[in-house]
Amino acid sequence: MNGSELAAVLDTACERLASTGDELRELDAEVGDGDLGITITKGAAAVRTRLATLDADALPNEVVLAAVDAFGTANPSTYASLVSSGVKAGAKAIELTEVSTAEVVAFGRVVAETIARRGKSAVGDKTILDALVPSLDAAELSADGGALEAAITAAATGIAETAAIAAKKGRAAWAGDRGIGVADAGATAYLRFLEALR
Ligand SMILES: [Mg+2]
């Protein structure tokens, strides 16, 4: 996949992702302020606007950096800023050439490490990491061509497992036991993004 093919994939995914805004707002509002819906819908729209300005010969890393910069600056939110700094660190560490599964997994590992460090969070805290880390593990172990499906299944499982606990990080942690049974909104947004890539 070259840069312009990647941009086309991301554009379609962001178009689809915008339709999850109400679901994410409601999930986030159960334990927080509900702003995740607007973070995702405005962020996805900003990504599409930015992608449309790229040259046809933009490299995959340039496409990713442009997209995540637009997402991170579309509106102020801790989620957008953590995701954006994670993806920027990924793009700095890993050069995407074919956008292969191996490259994307290596890239995702840097994203996860960066979010964990900057968010002072770990797997099991009920954050995006509970979907992201298992999705990378599953993609890495998957057969040729099945990486995205394996990642989606693993992310959904991670979210279901952590729905049973109270959040340990972010605004959702303030809700304490009230959050038990509620899926993490940020992790769900990541799952919806993976599904939108299908
Ligand atoms: Mg929120």
Using a CB cutoff of 5 Å, list residues around ligand 1, an ion.
Answer: 28, 32-33, 35-36
| Ligand 1 center from residue 169 Cα (angstroms) | 12
The rounded percent of the chain whose pLDDT value lies above 70 is 100
For residue 40, the domain's CATH number is 1.25.40.340
| Ligand 1 center from residue 154 Cα (angstroms) | 24
Task: Name the residue among 100, 85, 15 with its Cα closest to residue 52.
Answer: 15
- Collect all residues with Cβ–Cβ distance below 8 Å to 68 and sequence separation of at least 6: 47, 83, 84, 87, 88, 91
Number of independent structural domains in the chain: 1
Residue range 95-141, pLDDT digits in tens: 999 999 999 999 999 999 999 999 999 999 999 999 999 999 999 99
| Ligand 1 center from residue 31 Cα (angstroms) | 8
| Ligand 1 center from residue 83 Cα (angstroms) | 14
Q: Is pLDDT above 90 for 54?
A: yes
* pLDDT reported for residue 75: 87
| Ligand 1 center from residue 144 Cα (angstroms) | 37
Q: Is pLDDT above 90 for 29?
A: yes
Question: How many CB atoms lie under 10 A from the CB of residue 16?
Answer: 15
Residue with tokens 């599953």: 138
Residue range 65-77, pLDDT digits in tens: 999 999 999 988 9
Full-model pTM: 0.96
| Ligand 1 center from residue 36 Cα (angstroms) | 5
| Ligand 1 center from residue 140 Cα (angstroms) | 31
Q: For residue 19, what is the DSSP state?
A: G
| Ligand 1 center from residue 32 Cα (angstroms) | 5
* Domain extent for 71: 3-197
| Ligand 1 center from residue 73 Cα (angstroms) | 16
pLDDT mean over 80-96: 97
| Ligand 1 center from residue 197 Cα (angstroms) | 24
- Collect all residues with Cβ–Cβ distance below 8 Å to 103 and sequence separation of at least 6: 94, 96, 97
In angstroms, rounded to a whole number, what is the distance separating the alpha carbons of residues 129 and 11? Answer: 24
| Ligand 1 center from residue 170 Cα (angstroms) | 9
